[in-house]
Structure 1
Amino acid sequence: MNTAFLINSVQQASLCTNSNSEHLICSVKATIERYKKANTDTSNTGTVAEVNAQYYQQESAKLRQTISSLQNSNRTLVGDSINTMSLRDLKQLEGRLEKGINKIRARKNELLYAEVDYMQKREMELHSDNLYLRTKVAENERGHEQPMGMQMGAASTSEYDQMAVPYDSRNFLQVNIMQQPQHFSNHLQPTTLQLG
């Protein structure tokens, strides 16, 4: 295909006259450049594609071999293909399995000790919280017992103290909903309101 392209270009160049010699030289140079470019593009494209294909074929062969090796190793570890193993291979397999089991047990023990340590710390925290709550309950119970004692002491106080209206430090009237309301209207005369 490339040779046909070159022959066609040369035939077109030979048809040109001498008066067009400058144009002929430029046309031939352009044709040669196009040929070189087309030739290198197709050869490079083919080479790159071939290299890529070879690379992927090699990689897929390596992966197939790795998969096969892992499947065989897995069958051996599970015990499916031990019938064909020699005594030496069986001893090596047993040693590898014992090492693996020891690592598994060591890791399991680490996790169990960490869990026990966490639970002991949590137990101490809960014990501390329990003590705190018990002291708060005891303080609350003492707070409820104290007003009852004050009410018994208040019964022995004078009548004047009982009639006094207590105020808190913010000058608000304190109202106890447990006491009977005091009526001061006994001394006042009712007045009539006339609308009109």
Structure 2
Amino acid sequence: MGRGKVELKRIENPTRRQVTFSKRRNGLLKKAFELSILCDAEVSLIVFSPTGKFYQFASHESVVLLPPMMERTIARYRSEAGLSGPNDHSHTRSLEFWRREIEELQKTINETEAKLRHCIGEDIEMLGMKELKQLERQLKAGVERVRSKKLRIAAEHVNWLKGKDD
């Protein structure tokens, strides 16, 4: 008795989709390994999960040499497919772009962490009068929002208790 055909469409349930991805990824890695051994084929496999996690396989004995093996396979693919070769500067430009992006994001993280520390009263020694007044206004507005939410919840609870007594 054989397996039934599976309709090829996106799995909507995220949990089922992740389980299916994991199982099929493992099967794909196993098949790549078997193909490289049985047929003495040069096999490289690159997989990115839906969450962006990176998986790789290269048919080379040394685990230490996996990245160079991948680079060699990719260079060979580019050559066979007629794509731009290793002298293409797009990789360098892309690397520079991501370095700048990382620097900007790190700067944003540092600024956000500093604001958070200010909100809990830490690292405020270097703030001037203008910044302290702005921080005070922001904190007062935040406290007012918290009080308002507490009053709404208390009123809802009182109404629920009144309805329960009726």
TM bracket (short chain) = 0.3 to 0.5
Calculate the TM-score normalised by the size of structure 2.
0.47
Calculate the TM-score normalised by the size of structure 1.
0.40
Indicate the structure with greater strand content.
2
Q: Which entry has the higher C-alpha Rg, 1 or 2? A: 1
Indicate the structure with greater helix content.
1
